[in-house]
């Protein structure tokens, strides 16, 4: 059984538990250990969405949303995404930042291996100290993306789009077919970054609507 737990409010205890079996069958929702509801019918029923009343009177909406690039379980309470859920803009921004840090680490690892091993094959592939520099730039963009900058993910999109075009041009120039997996992965990266741009904008709008907080900042 797969499961996911959520807090009902940011920073609160994770009281809500969603669990499901293979192909999203036997989908159950419990709050503080008490069952709130179930969704029978597996993936098809979940795609239509289901609503449940929580003990505090709020309405919980769960829905499976499938797009070209991923499958997302949307969990909304009174229309707002639960903290940490896939559709929570803060979670989308964090996911994009984690992706950028992962890519930075991958490039850095390749660069370090190239420096240590001194392989002709790696040199032929263009792997070298440039990867370490690229990794540092991507990490910096990851840092500012995590800090909810709207500019950083845009710059990362431009960087990866340019890198993809350069890679495609290199392969075309040498008459080789670019690897399909690599192209798909790059499309996924750009898709995740576009989601992060939208999410950072949504977070900025939420902060403007909320206004200054009542408690003093540390």
Q: Which residues bind another protein (CB under 8 A)?
A: 9-13, 94, 97-98, 101, 104-105, 108-109, 112-113, 115-118, 132, 135-136, 139-140, 142-143, 146-147, 213, 215, 217-218
Nearest distance, CB of residue 170 and another protein, angstroms: 25
Structural contact between residues 92 and 73, judged by C-beta atoms closer than 8 angstroms: no
Task: Please name the helix (run of DSSP H) or strand (run of DSSP E) that holds residue 54, with its range, or none.
Answer: none
Alpha-carbon distance values, 9 to 18, 53, 162 (Å): 16, 17, 40
The DSSP 8-state label assigned to residue 33 in this structure reads: T
Of the two residues 46 and 138, which places its CB atom closer to another protein in the complex?
Answer: 138
Nearest distance, CB of residue 118 and another protein, angstroms: 7
For residue 203, how far is the Cα from the chain centroid? 15
Nearest distance, CB of residue 25 and another protein, angstroms: 32
Of the two residues 118 and 184, which places its CB atom closer to another protein in the complex?
Answer: 118
Burial class of residue 155 (count of CB atoms within 10 Å of its CB; 0-12, 13-18, 19+): middle
**Calpha distance 184→168 (Å, rounded):** 13
Of the two residues 98 and 171, which places its CB atom closer to another protein in the complex?
Answer: 98
Nearest distance, CB of residue 139 and another protein, angstroms: 4
Of the two residues 87 and 107, which places its CB atom closer to another protein in the complex?
Answer: 107
């Amino acid at each position: 059984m797969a499961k996911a737990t959520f807090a009902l409010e940011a920073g609160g205890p994770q009281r809500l538990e969603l669990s499901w079996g293979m192909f999203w069958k036997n989908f159950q929702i419990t709050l503080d250990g008490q069952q709130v509801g179930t969704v029978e019918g597996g993936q098809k029923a979940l795609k239509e969405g289901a609503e449940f009343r929580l003990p505090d009177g709020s309405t919980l909406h769960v829905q499976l949303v499938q797009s070209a690039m991923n499958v997302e379980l949307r969990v909304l309470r009174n229309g707002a995404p639960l903290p940490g859920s896939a559709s929570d803009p803060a979670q989308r921004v964090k996911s994009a930042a984690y992706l950028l840090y992962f890519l930075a680490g991958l490039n850095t690892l390749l660069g370090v291996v190239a420096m240590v091993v001194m392989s002709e094959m790696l040199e032929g592939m263009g792997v070298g100290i440039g990867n370490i520099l690229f990794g540092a730039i991507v990490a910096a963009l990851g840092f500012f993306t995590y800090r909810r900058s709207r500019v950083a993910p845009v710059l990362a999109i431009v960087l990866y789009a340019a890198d993809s075009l350069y890679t495609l041009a290199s392969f075309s120039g040498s008459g080789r077919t670019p690897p399909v997996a690599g192209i798909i992965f790059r499309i996924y990266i750009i898709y995740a970054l576009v989601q992060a741009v939208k999410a950072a904008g949504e977070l900025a709008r939420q902060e403007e609507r909320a206004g200054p907080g009542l408690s003093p900042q540390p």
